[in-house]
Amino acid sequence: MKDLQTGDRLYKHKQGVIDGLNTAKRGFLEAGRHLMIIQTGKLYQNEIKVSFAQWVEGELGISRSTAYQLIAVYEQFGDLLSAPEFENLDYSKAVLLLPYIPDKATVQQKEDLLHMAQGQTVRGLKDNLANMAGKTATDECLHEGDNEIWNRCKKCGKFWK
């Protein structure tokens, strides 16, 4: 009896996570759409001339890289990610796909990338993308040969060679 209750609770909370992620994805797409409008219309420039990056960091409190990623995901995948077939594809996977979109990519090419990403873990997607780029994926590497030695500060957590 206890296993059934635990399974029911797990299912309920798993669904809550999935629903929350889907809501977040819609929010990311909406944020990207508005950021694109602000950027292209130069709406961020009032009386004081500031760059888009300065405005985003100062007014919205987000990094410029996040802002540009939000815009890029919206521009490249906005309509597609809103489609029911991709409703469970999370935003982080869409960000990982951005460098692999060819210039002047067709809708079909973008759909193919999204389909590839859909049923994979983030690690699996990164490995597939490494293979696409002609690199060795982590699941294929034997980790032999030249290895790097890194140091880590226990106090602040910073890494260096």
Task: List pLDDT tens digits, range 98-146.
Answer: 999 988 999 999 999 999 999 899 999 999 999 988 998 888 888 888 7
Residue 143 belongs to a domain: no
Q: Which of 26-35, 44-53, 55-64, 110-119 has the lowest mean pLDDT?
A: 44-53
Look up the domain containing 44 and give its range. Answer: 12-122
Reported as a pLDDT band with limits 50, 70 and 90, residue 147 is confident
Reported as a pLDDT band with limits 50, 70 and 90, residue 153 is very high
Residue 34 belongs to a domain: yes
pTM to 2 decimals? 0.78
Residue 128 belongs to a domain: no
Residue 60 belongs to a domain: yes
Residues 85-94 have a mean pLDDT of 87
Residue 149 belongs to a domain: no
How many angstroms separate the CA atoms of 40 and 71, rounded?
Answer: 11
Q: Is the dihedral of CA 84, 133, 64, 156 positive or negative?
A: positive
Residue 68 belongs to a domain: yes
Residue 132 belongs to a domain: no
Domain count, the chain: 1
Residue 137 belongs to a domain: no
Query: Kindly report the CA angle at 57 between 38 and 69, in degrees rounded to 5?
Result: 65
